[in-house]
Structure 1
């Protein structure tokens, strides 16, 4: 019996070349495929997690920025109200001083009292800066009070002794400073409103604003802005 092993091999299973070397990569083809498949499985899991994490972080940042700007606008409006209240508190003192020299202007004094009462009633509304109707009523009331204050100061011009009164002069200096602070605070508020409304209307922040219920704020129009600070200067000489 011939025990010599048959050196012939199945050509279908022979992957070596004529020199007996096995080509690189043939032996590891299956392992390489398995590695690539696992690699893509990991990526397909990590990418959605990263995207969801980034989306949550971005939404949080947008929400916080909106809330911060909303609070900033409210703070600017509070400063406006504070200065208007300061002016309103000065008016009774001016009326008292002017009345001591011009007692015959009782009709004007009554109109000033009514204007202040109307303004105080509107000022109690908590949504002045958010409701366009309430804001319009507020600015109209301020216009009316400014008009009455203008008439009061014009009356004072008729009385040289009143103008030379130290108390009247002190009140006028305080009123002038208050008017300057009103103009500054109002300008700051208008700028804050403009920036806030731009953010509210810009994508993608507008999506977050809609979801959180934040809307554009009404603003002073040019006419109201000009009228509301209209107080004549009084020559104290």
Structure 2
């Protein structure tokens, strides 16, 4: 009877100890990372879906800018070719490849969006203005999404590295740190846009 009573008293203590070792908090934190990643992917997809319409609208006004249009189209194809699943979020090489492809697309669409400066008629095209506004809004959403993802990654990485959750993270889940987004090299420099309109 005494042994049974002791076992009954120890059971809640063992359950409490396990709960304090990340048994529930580690997968919860990982799901937050995955959710933030899913939200960010949807913004990247929205941008990829808008770009062909913007290219087609500009094409009618700026046939001579074929190189810019080709570069945007190729950058979009490259960015959509690299897909990451939640299982890839702890792989620095896959994250770097994804980030580089998305950064190439961002750099490619900047001249496309600024073409209205070189082609005044484009400023009055409502379709162009609407698409440009949608892409700018999506770019802002991507920035917010990247920030939210990085915050979820920071919380997860902290959780799996600090006591007591680090015990459960290692023993039960074999948890590895997730890879945050980093600024592209040269991101501090403003892009140069040249439409060959000078001398």
Q: TM-score, normalised by structure 1?
A: 0.71
Answer yes or no: is 1:51 the counterpart of 2:10: yes
CA-to-aligned-CA distance 1:8-63 (integer Å, 9 cap, x gap): xxxxxxxxxxxxxxxxxxxxxxxxxxxxxxxxx94x77446533542234314631
- Which residue of structure 2 aligns with residue 24 of structure 1? none
Q: Distance in 1 between matches of 2:84 and 2:69?
A: 23
Answer yes or no: is 1:216 the counterpart of 2:183: no
1:68-83 alignment, distance < 5 Å = 68-83=28-43
Greater relative CO (CA pairs within 8 A, separation 6+): 2
CA contact (8 A) 2:37 2:149 kept: yes
- Structure 2 segments unaligned to the other structure (5+ residues): 193-199
CA-to-aligned-CA distance 1:88-119 (integer Å, 9 cap, x gap): 11111111111100011222222222211211
Cα deviation for residue 126 of structure 1 reads 5.3
RMSD of the alignment, in Å? 2.5
CA contact (8 A) 2:84 2:98 kept: no
Answer yes or no: is 1:95 the counterpart of 2:58: no
Q: Matched residue of 1:217: which SS?
A: coil
Q: Distance in 2 between matches of 1:70 and 1:89?
A: 29
Q: Distance in 2 between matches of 1:111 and 1:155?
A: 14
CA contact (8 A) 1:129 1:135 kept: yes
- Structure 1 segments unaligned to the other structure (5+ residues): 1-40, 233-237
